[in-house]
Amino acid sequence: MKRNILIIFLFAIFLLSTSDFVFAQKKQLPNFKLKNIQGKVVSSQQFKGKVLLINFWATWCGPCKREIPDLVKLKENYSKNGFEIVSIAVSSGNLKDIGKFAKRMKINYPVLMGDQKVGRAFGGVSLLPTSFIIDRKGQIQQVLVGAKPYKVFEQKIKQLLE
């Protein structure tokens, strides 16, 4: 009985720890080139020197949809300070479908078409949404798995913009 409780306890700690973690060793932002919803190629190099939030999401993902208005607000409030958001849509149809969705949701930041390769380059994206917060030097500072409220994003972004 005690052994089962210990196993459940350890499993719970594992689940909680994977929901929001910081790399022990800072990982560099992977290089990528992806098409945006206008069909133009966007490179990760275009965001050098900015505090960056990269958000992996899907049009069919309920928590992703709930998170979008907060991301729009973050972009409005912090872009003048050197902050940028880049969203990478995965398993969401074609560029035209994603573009219609982005327009309907009033997304004000770049929306790129992702694939498994770019997810692997980030170390794997197993749940949506997953966000990577990157400092001005291009180092991934935090990974947030699952939808997070505005204040969680804002706290880390403000810290990196100082």
The neighbouring-strand residues paired with 78 are none
Q: Which entry of 51, 64, 68, 157 is annotated as an active-site residue?
A: 64
In Å, how far from its chain's centre is CA 161?
A: 17
Give the E-state strand segments of the chain in sequence order: 20-21, 27-28, 33-35, 41-43, 51-57, 83-89, 111-113, 130-134, 139-145
Report how far residue 98's alpha carbon sits from residue 82's, in angstroms, rounded to the nearest whole number. Answer: 26
Residue with tokens 């800072």: 26
64 catalytic per annotation = yes
Q: Which entry of 37, 58, 61, 128 is annotated as an active-site residue?
A: 61
Which sequence positions are flagged as catalytic?
Answer: 61, 64
